Structure 1
Amino acid sequence: MSTGFLTEKSDVYSFGVILLELLTGKKSIVLSHDINKQSSIVWVKDSIEKDQLNEFVDPRILKERGGIEQEQQLKAVRALALRCTQRKKEDRPEMIDVTKELRRMVKSDCPSSSTQP
């Protein structure tokens, strides 16, 4: 956006930011204690390096369900969001691949959906 050139890859980046906002329950730019702007992307990446998944996930999400399945789903969404927000646009997935991955996540969350009418 800062360059004035919007592409599909910039849309992928924006979608990744939205995923991070949904996961964290915070806006993509948050104020830190020293009143500098801090990107939630930086904060989440820092949490990942420290393997602190629950540190950045919105507590309301953690209350909904529990167990290994939820943690795996959260890690999958987090990984997708981080791939979408890669600094280099060449490192970001195509939106069609993002869509396929999201569909895969939904299907794995609902194993009984094939038995429903």
Structure 2
Amino acid sequence: MPDGDEWQEARSGRDVEFAWCRACGSTSGVTRLVDRLERGGLATRETAPGDRRSTYAVLTAAGADKIDQALPAYSDAVRHWLIDQLTPEQLDGLLAALRILRDRLRPDSATITPPMAEDRTGTAAG
């Protein structure tokens, strides 16, 4: 998971896309999602610099706080239901496959350096 500084930098960048939204459904579905985030005070819409046809959904401070609150439980669930279910070899294979897909789908994307790998006991692997 990204640390606080990397997360702050990633969510404040104007070139960040909600690619996961595109995978979730139609553009009208994304519009409804952003509408709900706006009503909840969690995001705002901003016109893209240099392109009036494009709009960015930008997290507010309240939206960032919600993510910060949810992240520990989310991380625990991912660890329990995904990472802990795989052998180290299976996890290495999954990560290699995901990196290939990431690089092919978005070769220009900036990568966030993952924290040091931990073994299943929570101690740093060496």
The interval holding the TM-score normalised by the smaller chain is: under 0.3
TM-score normalized with structure 2 length: 0.26
Q: Which has the larger radius of gyration?
A: 2
**Going by fraction, where is strand more abundant, 1 or 2?**
2
Which of structures 1 and 2 has the larger relative contact order (alpha carbons within 8 angstroms, sep 6+)? 1
**Going by fraction, where is helix more abundant, 1 or 2?**
1
